[in-house]
Structure 1
Amino acid sequence: MLKEFADLSTPVVADACLRVGVGLRAAPVGVAAVTAGARVAGRVLPVRHYGSVDVFLEAYGAARDGDVLVIDNGGRTDEACIGDLAVLEARAAGVAGIVVWGLHRDTPELREIGLPVFSYGALPLGPVRLDGREPEALVSARVGPHLVGTDDVVCADADGVVFVPAGRLEEVLAAAEGIARTERSQAERIAAGDTLRRQTAFDEYLERRAADPAYSFRQHLRRVGGAIEE
């Protein structure tokens, strides 16, 4: 899956979701890569954290090669829920990366391990609580306002983290590849002196909008075959 995502980006995937009518789901602002340039894509392996690492070890038992562990720690900023040992064990289980709605620790060790990890940031404090476990602990995970599970795919890079229903993945990737090709072509033409305004017939758009205020730039782009905002 990472190979299919290799030439794409999360902004293009998000635009593709909008293009094909898939609901937009992204991790909250601030969830970012521990190591600059890290990127990952794979099936969501969901887990909810309650204060103990045992739930991660249990989740690893169900991991398939290439899965991405998505940890729901409620977005807490008072504790780090994963560190080097949990990440090393994830790699040993075939997990391709980790997305945390929360914090991590052992930053130098995580960078040395090299497994892509995305979180709100680092904190030296580990959990001191032990909450009651829910039946959905290994079934679904919440990341911000979004609930994700094994029927979802996650893509993460320098721009953030996006979730896509696995059943719509081929459709989204096909749209994303088309958008990426168009944007690359437009960028090359801009660099060569052909402005984006000329490429998108922007003057024509302004004329049509003046005659029809409901005519949107997005409609216009679809008509002329451009791409910039979906």
Structure 2
Amino acid sequence: MEAVHLQRTYLDLTTPHVADACIRLGIPVRCAPVNTRPVWAGTHLVGRVNPVKHYGSVDVFLEAIDRAEQGDVLVVDNGGRLDEACIGDLITLETRLAGLSGIVIWGLHRDTSELRSIRLPLFSLGAFSTGPQRLDPVDSCALLSAKIGQHIVTAEDFVLGDDDGVLFIPLDQAGPVAEMATSIRDTERYQAARMKLGTTFRKQVHFDEYLVAQKSDKNLTFRQHLRSIRGAIEE
């Protein structure tokens, strides 16, 4: 799926919608660590992964940006380090000028005030004032993959991020995942609209019928009941 199509398709989908869709489709849910947060609230990020591993110098970022396509997301593996910030305002500006959609860091950022002004979506483990004071050898995999928490991601993945976190999904599953996520989103919006008009969620999902059926079949779960009536809320 091309960058523009990907961004349009996922523009109104949240990470909870997409996570539920992945579960429905049997696709592993790969989340960045729970403390991976956006620099400002209301951020929405989607794009193909452009992976890069940090070794102490910014030149590897410049090389990754140079080989990226417009709409990609720079996904930075800094080993989850909390003793240095590896991305600041200049690399963020360079990323934006190259037409990338944003940055996700398994590590820390700095220049927070400037980043908020640049307004390129950026997710990290937090802010730290000091940059790298090391220079490690660069290996041949520096631009091929990135580790984010327990997950390895490549250019065969795309990333979706918002206030609820960051997800990585196989690029070749972007269409089916979006279709399922859209169905889940629309169902939940319809349920919420009915609740605001006074129809309880219990009534919408026939909860009384579930309780009766559950007495007859102790193996029946609420999740199975919801799926039988095409009701979303739990996966």
The answer, yes or no, to whether TM exceeds 0.5 is yes
- State how far apart, in whole Å, the 1-side matches of 2:169 and 2:28 are: 8
Structure 2 equivalent of residue 172 of structure 1? 177
One-letter amino acid of the structure 1 residue matched with residue 229 of structure 2: V
- State how far apart, in whole Å, the 2-side matches of 1:204 and 1:28 are: 39
Where in structure 2 are the equivalents of 1:88-167 lying within 5 Å? 88-167=93-172
- State how far apart, in whole Å, the 2-side matches of 1:172 and 1:57 are: 32
Where in structure 2 are the equivalents of 1:1-230 lying within 5 Å? 1-230=6-235
Q: SS of the counterpart of 1:218? A: helix
Query: Where does structure 1 differ by over 3 angstroms across 4 or more consecutive aligned residues?
Result: none
Same amino acid, percent of matched pairs? 56
- State how far apart, in whole Å, the 2-side matches of 1:122 and 1:67 are: 23
- State how far apart, in whole Å, the 2-side matches of 1:215 and 1:80 are: 50
- State how far apart, in whole Å, the 2-side matches of 1:52 and 1:214 are: 57
Cα RMSD after superposing both structures: 0.9
Measure how far apart 1:38 and its partner are.
Answer: 1.4
- State how far apart, in whole Å, the 2-side matches of 1:208 and 1:162 are: 36
Measure how far apart 1:73 and its partner are.
Answer: 0.7
- State how far apart, in whole Å, the 2-side matches of 1:26 and 1:87 are: 23
Instruction: Give the TM-score, by structure 2 length.
Output: 0.95
Instruction: Give the TM-score, by structure 1 length.
Output: 0.97
- State how far apart, in whole Å, the 2-side matches of 1:221 and 1:196 are: 12
- State how far apart, in whole Å, the 1-side matches of 2:9 and 2:203 are: 32
- State how far apart, in whole Å, the 1-side matches of 2:20 and 2:127 are: 30
Provide, for residues 162-215 of structure 1, a one-character-per-residue CA deviation record: whole Å limited to 9, x for no partner: 111011110000000000000000000111111111111112212222222221
- State how far apart, in whole Å, the 1-side matches of 2:139 and 2:218 are: 51
Q: SS of the counterpart of 2:52? A: strand
